[in-house]
Structure 1
């Protein structure tokens, strides 16, 4: 590893002291749970303090030089750092990754906590990609607001929540709007909730037509929203993340031109049950009251966050491409439904839906989408709870 690397040992990695066989003190770094650890024997005096000081701000050359002045063996310390890298405990940062921590101690501490999961030895840092990303959350719902807060805390640089309504007591949820927000504009109350989670995030409303990396649709029946058709027409990637009744729904993730769209899912549902258009019209006739238990809403938030970050990070094809994940109480284990492009829709270019489908977002979508039809509903009730 080059001595210009900026090593970070996450604060969560335990440093444990052990009595060695000859009376000297050994140091166990990590290895207390399912992760690999490194035993340093004998542990030089002051080693734990030196390791705990690896905050990513200094190059390895500076770390080793300072340690040598303090009496540490440079070769031995380099071997320890290389050993920690081999176990995956040590993270090498780019200096630009720490720019988001420049606003004060709290932001710096939070950034050090988030950075390890946004940095991968194979693909390098994803942190700068997240900081440069813009995500629009449409709907300050019991899923939308905590989702925006978690995305902001995970490093997404600009998170805008769009909602023209006023908050009600029923909108309150852990990590989202509070009971004291009742009567306030939902968009302003949502911005306050996100700001509490991540003060550095850009929360400014997005002007019409502004470029965005992803739009998350959090209203229960997004396929019937004119916004979805507009996003499809403009080629903007969008993801459904909502709770319908008591079921959390994440997906499909739509990449216009590369995957089936939300209208495709509606057409598949119509094929399975000709009554679906009449049912959908009733479901979308008015504003749907907030639904879902808190644990369902938050499970939906976490599942959606993983999908959003997979898209922004570009580490592989998100699971929800052309697919929905249903989280049903009480176990909330995900049930998968696949929604391929419908032949009547024409939204996917010929030959596009498949392993070599083009990307319309950051990710290089190399995953293969299922071409099988979604499971048919068992009557009207099942049709009303399936995904779209």
Structure 2
């Protein structure tokens, strides 16, 4: 192990015995009591030294026997320590890809904020390369979303859509202007390849046997260009995903409103069918309206503001990455909405409905959360009280928080 204090967190002394790691309410915490000698020793925890060399440095600084080990263990338990050589074989292989890491060092630093075990952030970044995601829909939202996933290190991003690129599909990060007239799916795939930090791993190196068949997708994102399908997704469109147990996430823009979610865990959380049944309970005319919207003549130009579409693509990609990294983002069991011109994001729950054939209501909605209840034996670790109150005030109602 080559211990390293997580460089993503700013460090400062609150007083002579208390160190604060981090600035923002979401991740800031204090550690103490900490003497000045131990505080100086923190600068040596930069990933360039193993434990034996660190112990030697501790003796040179006249630190008591065992103090270095206790300090390292305390920082590790607090989630403040990383391992410059940790993460397993896949992480070791990734470290040899300098160009890849140079592109994704900001992403790696961000992952370190939400992981606890030393080396875990690098392990999760390496795991992204073996993930396969399919994006269904390559309009202003879908094409950008697919590029973001590839750019964040997801090794296999596939895009499905029909037709040809229209001028209204062009968006930064998605279809370029010179792609107008090209097949929409091919143009989106080129955008994915441009965004990727390196060539995707081969199917066999990613754990897919050339003879053993296809293991399926880790996640499917449904980002339809049809605004009715965005606002009122047809349960039939996800029937095969539900049958195969494939997690899927909805995203899109309809009439100046951006929508992200729900992220459906088949058989466990509310799905498109649950959404339809719940809406029908509230509004008996809902099925009649849906039938008219789906059968009516489509508008030539759908209202899909470029900045809102890009915002939706970014948020949906963030939720997708959180799920791929083993988290439960707030779109599990909820739908996030944001409308122009106010641009206030709000979450609406999508609960499992007893009338839906997905049977999620029968099994009950599990909370996909894990709280770190560990204690610290030698140092007190806590969030600054003022920051803690601010964090609670800023947390929207109905959001989910996942901790390792």
Normalised by the length of structure 2, the TM-score is: 0.66
Residue of structure 2 aligned with 1:110, choices 99, 103, 115:
103
1:216 offset after TM fit, Å? 0.6
- Tell me if 1:121 matches 2:116: yes
Match of 2:380 in 1: none
Question: CA 1:261–1:225 in 2, change beyond 3 Å: closer, same or farther?
Answer: closer
1:306 offset after TM fit, Å? 3.0
1:312 offset after TM fit, Å? 2.0
Question: CA 1:103–1:287 in 2, change beyond 3 Å: closer, same or farther?
Answer: farther
SS of corresponding position for 1:143: helix
Query: Alpha-carbon deviations, 1:70-95, whole Å to 9, x = none?
Result: x9999999899789768866532325
1:292 offset after TM fit, Å? 2.5
Match of 1:254 in 2: 264
Match of 2:184 in 1: 186
Asked if the contact 1:10–1:90 (Cα under 8 Å) also holds between the matched residues in 2, the reply is yes
Question: CA 1:133–1:78 in 2, change beyond 3 Å: closer, same or farther?
Answer: same
Query: Alpha-carbon deviations, 1:214-256, whole Å to 9, x = none?
Result: 1110014152274312212222111101111211101112121
Residue of structure 1 aligned with 2:352, choices 333, 341, 345:
341
Q: Single out whichever of 269-278 and 154-163 deviates more from structure 2.
A: 269-278
Asked if the contact 2:257–2:338 (Cα under 8 Å) also holds between the matched residues in 1, the reply is yes
C-alpha RMSD of the superposition = 4.4
Residue of structure 2 aligned with 1:60, choices 50, 53, 68:
50
Asked if the contact 1:11–1:113 (Cα under 8 Å) also holds between the matched residues in 2, the reply is no
SS of corresponding position for 1:253: strand
Match of 1:91 in 2: 82
Structure 1 residue runs without a partner (length 5+): 17-27, 357-363, 368-388
Query: Alpha-carbon deviations, 1:234-279, whole Å to 9, x = none?
Result: 2211110111121110111212111232122122223333332333
SS of corresponding position for 1:284: helix
Residue of structure 2 aligned with 1:245, choices 241, 248, 255:
255
Query: Alpha-carbon deviations, 1:187-233, whole Å to 9, x = none?
Result: 22222222232232639999997511111100141522743122122
Query: Alpha-carbon deviations, 1:336-368, whole Å to 9, x = none?
Result: 222223333231156312237xxxxxxx5679x
SS of corresponding position for 2:313: helix
Asked if the contact 1:152–1:194 (Cα under 8 Å) also holds between the matched residues in 2, the reply is yes
1:11-50 aligned at under 5 Å gives the runs: 35=28
Question: CA 1:7–1:244 in 2, change beyond 3 Å: closer, same or farther?
Answer: farther
Residue of structure 1 aligned with 2:280, choices 263, 270, 278:
270
Question: CA 1:132–1:281 in 2, change beyond 3 Å: closer, same or farther?
Answer: same
Match of 2:135 in 1: 137
Query: Alpha-carbon deviations, 1:273-302, whole Å to 9, x = none?
Result: 333233323433458855432331232123
Asked if the contact 2:353–2:360 (Cα under 8 Å) also holds between the matched residues in 1, the reply is no
Structure 2 residue runs without a partner (length 5+): 13-18, 372-404
Structure showing greater relative contact order (alpha-carbon pairs closer than 8 Å, 6 or more residues apart): 2
Question: CA 1:130–1:291 in 2, change beyond 3 Å: closer, same or farther?
Answer: farther
- Tell me if 1:329 matches 2:340: yes
